[in-house]
Amino acid sequence: MTASEAALAALQPWQQFICNVCGLIYDEAAGDPDSGLPPGTRFADIPDDWACPICGVSKTDFVPFTPPPPRDAHSATHAPKHATRRGVRGTAESSVLIVGAGRAGWQVAEALRKRDATLAITLVSSCNGDVYDKPQLSVAVARGIAVHSLVRESAADAAQRLNLRLLPSTAAVHIDTRTRSLRTSRGPLRWSHLVLAQGAEPALPAALPTSLVWRINDLTSYRALRAALLSRPQHIVLIGAGLVGCELANDLALAGHRITLLDRQSNPLSAHLPAEVGQRLLRAWSDLPIQFVGAVRVSGVERLAGGGLRVNTLGSGYFDADQVIAATGLRTADRLARSAGLAFDAAAGGIQVRAQDGETSVAGIYALGDCAVVDGCASRYIEPIARQAHAIAASITGQSCDVAEAAAETAASVLRVKTSQLPITLTRMGHDAAFGAASGAASGAASEVTSDATSDPAQWHIDRNDDEALHMRSVSASGRLIATLSAGRTQRTRAEMRPAAHDLRAHS
Amino acid sequence: MDMTDLQTAPHPASGAEAEMLGAVRDIANGALRVAAEATDRGIYPRDLLQRLGTAGAFSAHLGPGAEAGDYASAIHAMAAVSRVCGASGFMVWCQQVCGLYLQQSGNAALTGPVLAAHASGERLGGTGMSNPMKTYAGIETMLLRATPVPGGYLVNGTLPWVSHIGSDHYAGVLAAVDEPTGESTREIMFLLRCDAPGVALRPCPSFSAMEGTNTWAIRCTDVFIGGDALMADPARPFIGRIRGAFVLLQTGFGLGVAQGAIDSMWQVEPQLGHVNRYLDDRPDDLQAELDALTARIETLAANPFSAERDHLIDVLDARAHASELALRAAQSALLHAGARGYLISSEVQRRVRESHFVAIVTPAVKHLRKEIARLSTAETPA
């Protein structure tokens, strides 16, 4: 360094450097006199054998440091007017803790707030908690909904409107029923009533690795998929031709992607509906780039050297693709239920709850939505959630629950398969309790309507089958009408539709 | 409020394990209790630790070959020591976990007489895993660097705050390998002997507690590491395999500190119970919570090498719970004891400082929660 360069360097403002390990700040202005560095020692001039005076690491473990700007005040986001406080010993504070910010979680919060303006409510969500309609995820393209428009209300806005405390991006880990607390990744939370609205997660067969296969069960994963599909039309292998798989295939094909739809069964939708429907759907898809391959058993997915993916099967060769999506059903994680000792129905894949009010086997803990099982039947549909939320809110607030009122809204329940090329409507008769449909078909599995495992087996009859529409009805051996079905653009007349239908899955 | 159960925490162990725990509790309640204050202030209790080793406190978790031993008993032994002296309890963990590294290394040069001398307490050593664990969690960068040379590596760098080491000790540590190409894609794990050429121990500034834990910064200057010292190369799969057991063992430290605090509350109950009943976190409440947590940990200890994601989340959460409970119990014990607990000679305020260490030592509460959140997030295609 020349004398003039040195003189120039001396004019530079003093710099600070921070130790990456312990956070000690070396200030050139102050030096480190204890280690023989007088004030004004430039960092560059510190000898290499100098050690951090706090933790002893070397000079190379320091980086330049700029002090953060001063902060006026800590802005408390999502702070409720009545934060949950640790209760005085022996007094059970009245606070409701809701796990899950999907439709079920938000609906319970709405129902509770409607009944009690001051109740302390905390909502814990593994995602950011934004309010959206999950059924839209498989029809967004057909309905022209942009990805950014799927959010109906931001989580922060909804939390403020309902005056509740929201903990977003928080993992619920363990329920302690003795202390009535929920352990989370943001610390333990106390509750007087706990509502599990945790939903169900994709049940991915072991052959499908999570790092290679998409599962579309929430807005976050859907956004990521759409982003991955943005660049160009792609070839997508979709595994599972159930309700969601068929809707997604239909929608992504409309978006210009080429779809290969695989299923273990010979026809689409055959787990839920008679074979005639699936066959009709395939004909309706003839104008779309959808290839259905039935009776296929997937054995694995691998990444090819070129970057693409290969789906291997048992005896049916392989299918190469740009993206692989699995729509192979849902199951509820049993972690929370297990930790609390809640009765869990492993076969149905959910937490057992009482039909009239959604209470689990442990008093004060409720469950609803995708994670709840009533009478051995899980409900993975939107329609019952509002009724369930009302029943739970009534039970928690100790008010009467007008189940009749809640149930009367839908004397029958309707399931719509929103495949735009062939809309399908399944109408099932009868509702009794808030959480289920005790008479005839249970509200959950549509397969119940074709089941012959009951003492009064049902059978499908064709009422109409022409170019316009397919109309069918399911009638029990004793002659009781269990369900009606129509597929095609020509829907049944109002009289035929008896009773009036409500859209189960899309609240749009 | 039964004072008789103070000394006899129930544990289902039988036979040799029960005998070991009995011997450990005898040492803890005798000489270790006398030495606790000095250990807190900076005297390393070498003789006591070796007596604990002779009693079997360092070998319970080590099964034959690479098999898991009785992790619950190892945790109970650590808890029994921590109940009396947190610093000593922490060093039991250091010694136990270093034994775990040696056992799992599969290196015959380490699993033979070296492991045997370690398991018995004849030789002592610790662990310098704080920095690597935090590096893997994306919080820090690797401080030790290894350069390949014929027959091994040359290691350079400074590792701060390594506990339970000394001139005739050693520690299991990691270094990032710097390839001649300039790339660094893997780490090695090895036994760093403190008396090896090029190793210098530098004193650390005083901590608020735990001063007798022989905690130093290790500076390495061209330290040669040969095959006889290698524990894992590459280190990541090894760390992935032992991580659950590493964290699970550590719970004994928090359980013991919490139990010691509860003991202190009961001790003042006859005189101060009439006013202490106005406090939160009463000893019976805390004891019930501690017992439930202990039972949860015993269940996890039956399968310490499980690679299940749910198991790991439970282990991390149990460790976090032990920290939170130790903090609450120590704080409450101070409120229960009042001024007598605030005396500089009182174990009650010492335990407050120990509980702080339980909560900040790697993995700290914040690290545990961050990792639980990460593990709980579903993986999606890139």
pLDDT tens-digit map of B252-294? 999 999 999 999 999 999 999 999 999 999 999 999 999 999 9
Band of residue A412 on the pLDDT scale cut at 50, 70, 90? low
| pLDDT band (50, 70, 90) for residue A3 | confident
- Which among B282, B324, B380 has CB closest to A89? B282
Interchain CB distance below 8 Å, B280 and A335: no
Residue B108 pLDDT exceeds 90: yes
Q: Is B139 on the interface with A (CB under 8 A)?
A: no
Q: Which two tokens stand for residue B304?
A: 């310490």
Residues of A in contact with B313 (CB under 8 A): 171, 173, 335
Q: Do A55 and B141 touch (CB under 8 A)?
A: no
Q: Is B160 helix (H, G, I), strand (E, B) or coil?
A: strand
Residue B281: per-residue pLDDT: 94
Minimum distance, in Å, between the CA of residue B375 and any CA atom of chain A: 9
* Whether B217 contacts chain A with CB within 8 A: yes
Closest alpha carbon to B202 in B230, B256, B165, B154: B165
Residue A451: predicted pLDDT: 40
Nearest CA in chain A to B160: A55
Going by pLDDT thresholds of 50, 70 and 90, the confidence category of residue A21 is confident
CA nearest to B156, candidates B147, B168, B165, B169: B147
pLDDT at B145 over 70: yes
**A198 and chain B: CB distance < 8 Å anywhere?**
no
CB-based contact, B131 to chain A, within 8 Å: yes
pLDDT in tens, A251-273: 999 999 999 999 999 999 998 78
Share of chain B above pLDDT 90, in %: 87
The whole-angstrom distance between A89's CA and the closest CA on chain B is 6
Contacts 24+ apart (CB under 8 A), A383-387: A383/A410, A383/A413, A383/A414, A383/A415, A383/A443, A383/A502, A383/A504, A383/A505, A384/A413, A384/A435, A384/A436, A384/A443, A385/A103, A385/A104, A385/A107, A386/A107, A387/A434, A387/A435
Among A9-18, A196-205, B38-47, the minimum mean pLDDT is found in A9-18
Residue B27 has pLDDT above 50, yes or no: yes
Q: What is the pLDDT of residue A492?
A: 56
Per the CB < 8 Å rule, is A211 touching B324?
no
HSE toward the beta carbon, residue A44, CA cutoff 13 A: 7
Mean pLDDT of chain A: 84
List of chain A residues whose C-beta atoms are within 8 Å of the C-beta of residue B202: 51, 56
Residues on chain B touching A54 (C-beta within 8 angstroms): 204-205
**Residue B4: band (very low, low, confident or very high) from pLDDT cuts 50, 70, 90:** very low
Cβ–Cβ contact B379 with A under 8 A:
yes
pLDDT score, position A45: 93
Chain B CA closest to residue A89: B280
CB A194 within 8 A of CB A99: yes
Across the interface, whether the CB atoms of B160 and A55 are under 8 A apart is answered yes
Q: Determine, for residues B205 and A53 on separate chains, whether the beta-carbon distance falls below 8 Å.
A: yes
Q: Are B176 and B155 in contact (CB under 8 A)?
A: no
In this prediction, residue A450 has a pLDDT band, given cuts at 50, 70 and 90, of very low
Beta strands in A220-370 (DSSP E): 235-239, 258-262, 290-293, 298-303, 309-313, 318-321, 323-326, 330-331, 344-345, 350-352, 365-367
| Residues of chain A contacting B324 with CB distance shorter than 8 Å | 187-188
Q: Which stretch of DSSP H or E encloses residue A224?
A: helix A219-229
- Which residues from chain B sit within 8 angstroms of residue A126, using beta carbons? 376-377
Question: In this complex, is the C-beta atom of A185 within 8 Å of any C-beta atom belonging to chain B?
Answer: yes
Rounded (10°) angle between helices B46-55 and B86-105: 60
The DSSP output letter for B32 is: I
Write down the pLDDT at residue B382.
72
Tens-place pLDDT, residues B38-64 = 999 999 999 999 999 999 999 999 999
Burial B298-332 (b: 16+ CB within 10 A, else e): bebbeebbbeeeebbbbbbbbbbbbbbbbbbbbbb
Please indicate whether, in this complex, the C-beta atoms of B380 and A210 are within 8 angstroms of each other.
yes
- Reduced to 3 states, what is the DSSP secondary structure of residue A442? coil
Residue A491 is predicted with a pLDDT of 58
Position B7 pLDDT exceeds 80: no
Q: How far A94 CA lies from chain B's nearest CA (Å)?
A: 18
pLDDT at A74 exceeding the cut of 50: no
* For B217, nearest residue in chain A (alpha carbons): A56
Which carries the bigger pLDDT value, residue B170 or residue A401? Answer: B170
pLDDT at A271: 83
* Stretch B61-73: mean pLDDT: 97
Say whether pLDDT at A173 is over 80. Answer: yes
Can you give the pLDDT at residue A406? 52
Q: Does A92 touch chain B (CB under 8 A)?
A: no
pLDDT band (50, 70, 90) for residue A123: very high
What value does the mean pLDDT take over residues A51-65?
86
Chain A residues closer than 8 Å to B131 by CB = 21
Handedness of CA B344, B349, B353, B358 (dihedral sign): positive
Judged by a CB distance cut-off of 8 A, whether residue A88 touches chain B is yes
Q: Is the pLDDT of residue A358 over 70?
A: yes
Which chain B residues contact residue A188 at CB under 8 A?
321, 324
In this predicted structure, the answer to whether residue A57 has a pLDDT above a threshold of 60 is: yes
Task: Give the predicted TM-score (pTM) of the model.
Answer: 0.85
Residue A443: is its pLDDT beyond 90? no
Whole-number Å distance between alpha carbons of B283 and A330: 44
| CB-CB under 8 Å, A56 with B204 | yes
B161 touches chain A (CB under 8 A): yes
Going by pLDDT thresholds of 50, 70 and 90, the confidence category of residue A75 is very low
d(CA A182, CA A124): 10
User: Which B positions 293-312 lie with beta carbon below 8 A of chain A?
Assistant: 310
Q: Does A128 touch chain B (CB under 8 A)?
A: no
Q: Compare B351 and A467 and report the one with higher pLDDT.
A: B351
A183:B161 CB<8 A: no
Query: A71 or A250: whose pLDDT is higher?
Result: A250
Nearest Cα neighbor of A405 from A427, A386, A426, A428 is A386
CA distance B321 to chain A (A): 8
> Could you tell me which of B27, B171, B115, B380 has the C-alpha nearest to residue A201?
B380
Number of C-beta neighbours around residue A16 at 10 A: 16
CB contact under 8 A, A228 and B381: yes
Give the residue, A501 or A403, on which the prediction is more confident: A403
pLDDT at A472: 93
Rounded CA gap, A128 and A169, in Å?
A: 5
Q: Which two tokens stand for residue A1?
A: 């360094």
Is residue B65 less than 8 Å (CB to CB) from chain A?
Answer: no
Average pLDDT, chain B: 94
Cβ separation B158–A54 shorter than 8 A: no
Tell whether the model's pLDDT for residue A240 goes beyond 90: yes
Cβ–Cβ contact B354 with A under 8 A: no
The percentage of chain A sitting over the pLDDT mark of 70, rounded to a whole number, equals 83
Q: Which residue of B has its CA nearest to A217?
A: B378
Identify the residue whose tokens are 């929370």: A336
Per CB-CB distance under 8 Å, the chain A contacts of B378 are 201, 210, 215, 221
Tell me the CB-side half-sphere exposure of residue B116, using CA atoms within 13 A. Answer: 4
Residue ranges of A 18-77 with Cβ closer than 8 A to chain B: 20-22, 51-58, 61
Q: Per residue in B176-220, pLDDT tens?
A: 999 989 888 899 999 999 999 999 999 888 888 889 999 999 999
Closest-CA distance, B176 to chain A, in angstroms, reads 14
Highest-confidence segment of A15-29, A74-88, B312-326: B312-326
User: Rounded mean pLDDT of A410-436?
Assistant: 74
Nearest beta carbon to residue B317 from set A174, A178, A324: A174
List the single best residue of B285, B287, B369, B371 to mutate versus A (max A Cβ within 10 A).
B369
